[in-house]
C-alpha cells in the first residue's frame, strides 16, 4: 500500500476503503500504516468526495455521522498541512471563524468556572448558568451554516458532508440544552456538571476543527464571490454568535472564465419551467402558487387597498363559506350588519397604521376557531390591503408534551 496513488479515482476508492475499514472496527493507527500514501496526500475535498460516494452507495448518513470524528482523526495529519482559509473582516467565512474563536474562549472560561464551583465557590454556579445561557446562542452560528452555506454547497454537489455535519450540530444542540437544564435544577452537582460539560465541550471543539479544516476550505474553493456576497446579504436576518461583522470585505467581480465555470457547475433547479414568477424568496409557477395556497391548513382571504375582496383560498376543509361571487365585492358587505362597524374600525386602523394585527377566537360547531387580520404595507409604507387568516385550532390546543418522531404522528404509517 506504499505505492504512491496519483489517479483521482484510485485515491477516492482508497479513501472509501479506509472509511469502510474504520467503520468495521479497525484502528486509526493501523489504517494510517496500511494506507499511508492515500491518507497523507488527501485533501478536505478528497475526504468529502469519499464520504459522499459512500452515502450514494447506500451507507446511511447516520452511520457516517456516528464515526465522522474518527474520520477526522485518520486524516488529521493531512488536514493539518492545509493552511486555514484567509479572508477579510466581513466575509462570511471570516465571521464564522471569529465566532469559533469566541466559542473556544467561552468554553475555556466555563471550564474555569466549573473548577471554581468544585472548589466551593457558590457564586461560580450562578456564573456558569449565565455562561451556559450565552453558549446557547451558538445556535446562530449553526443556523447560518445550515440555512445559508449548506444550500449553496448543495448546488455544487457537495451534499454528503453537509448532511453529516447538520446531524452533529443537532446532537450538540441537545447536549447544550441538557447541560443548561441540569445546572439550573436544584439537584445540580459540580462533579456531574463537569462530566456533562466535558462531553459537550469536546464535541463543540471537534466541530470547530471540522469547520476550519474541511467545510470552510471547501466552501472557499467552490463558491464564487457573487455567491459569498449573496450569503453575506442574508446573514443579518439570522444573526451572529457574539460577533458583529465589519464591512472591510467587499466582494469583487469574478472574471468571465470564473463565471462560465460557475455556470457550468451550478445545478439548474427549475429546468423546463418557462412561466416562473419571481418572488422575494423563490421562483414558482402559477400552478405551484395555486397548489401552495390551496393546501395551506388555514383559510386566507385577501382584501385590497380599496377594501374589495380579491382572492380567497379554497382548501380541503372550509371554515367559513366563500364563493367566487364575492370577488370584487366590498369586504364590509361580506359580513352581517352587526359586524360591519368592527370591520370598518379594523380597516381604518390598518390604513392609518394604528394597528397591524387584529385577532379573535370563537367556538362554533364544537370547534375552536382562531381568526386573525394582518395589515399589508409595501416597502414605502403605503397600505396595500389586508389578509384574513382563519384556522381551526381545536387539535392544536389539545397537544401536550413533544412529538418528534414522524412515524408516531397521526396519519403516518410505520
Region at 302 (left for phi over 0; alpha for psi -120 to 50; beta for the rest) = beta
Identify whether residues 316 and 358 lie together within a single domain.
yes
CATH of the domain at 177: 1.20.120.520
How many domains would you assign to the chain? Answer: 3
Cell triple for 395: 387539535
Identify whether 110 is part of a domain.
Answer: yes
Identify whether residues 101 and 47 lie together within a single domain.
no
Identify whether 26 is part of a domain.
Answer: yes
Please report the pLDDT score of residue 272 as a whole number: 54
Using alpha carbons, list the distances in angstroms from residue 269 to 155, 272, 367. Answer: 9, 9, 41
Identify whether residues 39 and 115 lie together within a single domain.
no
Residues 92-119: b if buried by 16+ CB within 10 A, e if exposed: bbbbbbbbbebbeebbeebeebbebbee
Please report the pLDDT score of residue 16 as a whole number: 82
CATH of the domain at 311: 3.30.450.20
Identify whether residues 217 and 139 lie together within a single domain.
yes
Identify whether residues 244 and 114 lie together within a single domain.
yes
Give the CB-side neighbour count of residue 380, counting CA atoms within 13 A: 3
Identify whether 232 is part of a domain.
Answer: yes
Region at 381 (left for phi over 0; alpha for psi -120 to 50; beta for the rest) = left
Please report the pLDDT score of residue 263 as a whole number: 44
Gap between the Cα atoms of 171 and 377, Å rounded:
41
Please report the pLDDT score of residue 394 as a whole number: 93
Identify whether residues 64 and 98 lie together within a single domain.
no
- How many helices and strands (H and E) does the chain possess? 18, 7
Diameter over CA atoms, the chain: 89
Identify whether 276 is part of a domain.
Answer: no
Identify whether residues 27 and 145 lie together within a single domain.
no
Identify whether 406 is part of a domain.
Answer: no
Host domain of residue 155: 92-263
Identify whether residues 44 and 174 lie together within a single domain.
no
Identify whether residues 155 and 48 lie together within a single domain.
no
Identify whether residues 130 and 233 lie together within a single domain.
yes
Identify whether 273 is part of a domain.
Answer: no
Identify whether 256 is part of a domain.
Answer: yes
The pTM assigned to this predicted structure is: 0.66
Identify whether 370 is part of a domain.
Answer: yes
Gap between the Cα atoms of 98 and 243, Å rounded:
7
How many other CB atoms sit within 10 Å of the CB of residue 224? 19
Please report the pLDDT score of residue 49 as a whole number: 76
Identify whether residues 99 and 204 lie together within a single domain.
yes
Identify whether residues 149 and 74 lie together within a single domain.
no
Per-block average pLDDT, block size 10, for the chain (414 residues)?
A: 55 81 81 76 73 76 67 71 66 93 93 94 92 95 93 84 83 95 94 96 95 90 91 92 85 51 47 74 88 90 94 84 83 82 92 93 90 94 94 91 63 40
**Of 401, 6, 37, 46, whose CA–CA distance to 214 is shortest?**
46
Amino acid at each position: 500500500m506504499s505505492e504512491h496513488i496519483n489517479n483521482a479515482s484510485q485515491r477516492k476508492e482508497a479513501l472509501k476503503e479506509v472509511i469502510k475499514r474504520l467503520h468495521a472496527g479497525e484502528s486509526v493507527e493501523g489504517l494510517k500504516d496500511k494506507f499511508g500514501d492515500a491518507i497523507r496526500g488527501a485533501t478536505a475535498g478528497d475526504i468529502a468526495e469519499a464520504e459522499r460516494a459512500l452515502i450514494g452507495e447506500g451507507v446511511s448518513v447516520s452511520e457516517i455521522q456516528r464515526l465522522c470524528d474518527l474520520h477526522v482523526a485518520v486524516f488529521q495529519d493531512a488536514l493539518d498541512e492545509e493552511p486555514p482559509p484567509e479572508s477579510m473582516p466581513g466575509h462570511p467565512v471570516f465571521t464564522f471563524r471569529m465566532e469559533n474563536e469566541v466559542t473556544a474562549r467561552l468554553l475555556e472560561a466555563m471550564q474555569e468556572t466549573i473548577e471554581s464551583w468544585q472548589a466551593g465557590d457558590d457564586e461560580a454556579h450562578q456564573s456558569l448558568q449565565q455562561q451556559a445561557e450565552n453558549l446557547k446562542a451558538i445556535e446562530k452560528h449553526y443556523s447560518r451554516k445550515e440555512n445559508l452555506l449548506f444550500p449553496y454547497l448543495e448546488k455544487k454537489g457537495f451534499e454528503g458532508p453537509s448532511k453529516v455535519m447538520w446531524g452533529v450540530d443537532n446532537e450538540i444542540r441537545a447536549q447544550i440544552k441538557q447541560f443548561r437544564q441540569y445546572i439550573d435544577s436544584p439537584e445540580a452537582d459540580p462533579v456531574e456538571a463537569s462530566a456533562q460539560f466535558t462531553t459537550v465541550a469536546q464535541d463543540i471543539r471537534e466541530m470547530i476543527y471540522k469547520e476550519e479544516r474541511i467545510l470552510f476550505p471547501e466552501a472557499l474553493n467552490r463558491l464564487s464571490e457573487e455567491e459569498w456576497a449573496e450569503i453575506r446579504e442574508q446573514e443579518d436576518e439570522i444573526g451572529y454568535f457574539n460577533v458583529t461583522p465589519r464591512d472591510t470585505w467587499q466582494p469583487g467581480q469574478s472574471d468571465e472564465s470564473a463565471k462560465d465555470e460557475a455556470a457550468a457547475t451550478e445545478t439548474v433547479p427549475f429546468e423546463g419551467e418557462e412561466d416562473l414568477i419571481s418572488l422575494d424568496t423563490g421562483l414558482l409557477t402559477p400552478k405551484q402558487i395555486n397548489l401552495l395556497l390551496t393546501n395551506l391548513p388555514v383559510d386566507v382571504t385577501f382584501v385590497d387597498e380599496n377594501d374589495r375582496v380579491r382572492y380567497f383560498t379554497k382548501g380541503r376543509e372550509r371554515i367559513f363559506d366563500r364563493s367566487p361571487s364575492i370577488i370584487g365585492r366590498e369586504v364590509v358587505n361580506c359580513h352581517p350588519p352587526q359586524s360591519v362597524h368592527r370591520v370598518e374600525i379594523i380597516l381604518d386602523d390598518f390604513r392609518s397604521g394604528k394597528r397591524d394585527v387584529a385577532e379573535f377566537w370563537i367556538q362554533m360547531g364544537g370547534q375552536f376557531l382562531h381568526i386573525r387580520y394582518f395589515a399589508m404595507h409595501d416597502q414605502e409604507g403605503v397600505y396595500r390591503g389586508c389578509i384574513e387568516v382563519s384556522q381551526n385550532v381545536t387539535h392544536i390546543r389539545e397537544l401536550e408534551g413533544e412529538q418528534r418522531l414522524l412515524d408516531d404522528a397521526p396519519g403516518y404509517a410505520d
